[in-house]
């Protein structure tokens, strides 16, 4: 599994004419292997620094994430207050996010009807959706 994802990553690097390096490996393995699904670049960077013996800089974290996002291994969540969050996308299906304003907790949701409705709205105006951002900022019902 860890192996499969790394092979896939290598193929992507190849397809882009990029080299396979320890730094790139460790960035992808940190994102892909962590239970933390919603972290910013700095959290990912610090996590690597703490547990990995490989030296990696913030610049390289950002540069590697760019490649991962481009090839849909990682999803970038933006539109939040302070920078973007990143989540592993490999073997995960599409979903959007509900962000609790009281706890900062992030809840994932997916609704097929809603997705279809979106497509339809775009189509009616003569467009097709390339990507979308759908975030619900919420509070617990009893608050």
Partner DNA sequence: GTTGTTGCAAATACTTTGCAACTAT
Partner DNA sequence: ATAGTTGCAAAGTATTTGCAACAAC
Q: Kindly state the tokens that stand for 138.
A: 């919420």
Identify the CA nearest to 132 among candidates 83, 77, 84: 77
- Given a contact cutoff of 8 angstroms between Cβ atoms, the answer to whether 24 and 48 are in contact is no
Which of 56, 68, 73, 99 touches DNA by CB under 7 A? Answer: 56
Q: Is 42 in the site for DNA (CB under 7 A)?
A: yes
Pick between residue 16 and residue 123 the one whose CB is nearest to DNA.
16
What is residue 84's DSSP assignment? -
Phi, psi of 123 (to 5 degrees): -60, -40
Q: Is 73 in the site for DNA (CB under 7 A)?
A: no
Angle at 39 between CA 35 and CA 43, to 5 degrees: 100
User: Residue 136: which of 100, 104, 110 has the closest Cα?
Assistant: 100
Residue 118 binds which one of DNA, a second copy, none, with CB within 5 to 8 A depending on kind?
a second copy
Question: Does the footprint of a second copy cover residue 72 (CB under 8 A)?
Answer: no
For a second copy, the binding residues in 100-139 under the rule CB under 8 A are 100-101, 107, 109, 111, 113-114, 117-118, 121-123, 125-139
Interface with a second copy (CB under 8 A):
78-79, 98, 100-101, 107, 109, 111, 113-114, 117-118, 121-123, 125-141
């Amino acid at each position: 599994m860890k192996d499969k994802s790394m092979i896939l990553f290598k193929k992507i690097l190849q397809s882009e004419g990029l080299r396979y390096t320890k730094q790139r490996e460790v960035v992808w393995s940190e994102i892909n292997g962590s239970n933390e699904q919603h972290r910013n670049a700095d959290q990912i960077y610090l996590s690597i620094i703490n547990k990995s013996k490989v030296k990696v800089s913030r610049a390289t974290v950002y540069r590697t994430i760019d490649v991962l996002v481009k090839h849909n291994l990682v999803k970038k969540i933006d539109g939040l207050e302070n920078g973007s969050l990143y989540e592993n996308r490999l073997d995960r299906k599409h979903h959007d996010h509900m962000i609790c304003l009281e706890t900062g907790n992030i809840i994932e949701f997916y609704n097929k009807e809603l997705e279809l409705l979106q497509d339809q709205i775009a189509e009616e105006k003569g467009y097709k959706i390339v990507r979308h951002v759908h975030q619900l900022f919420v509070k617990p019902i009893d608050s």
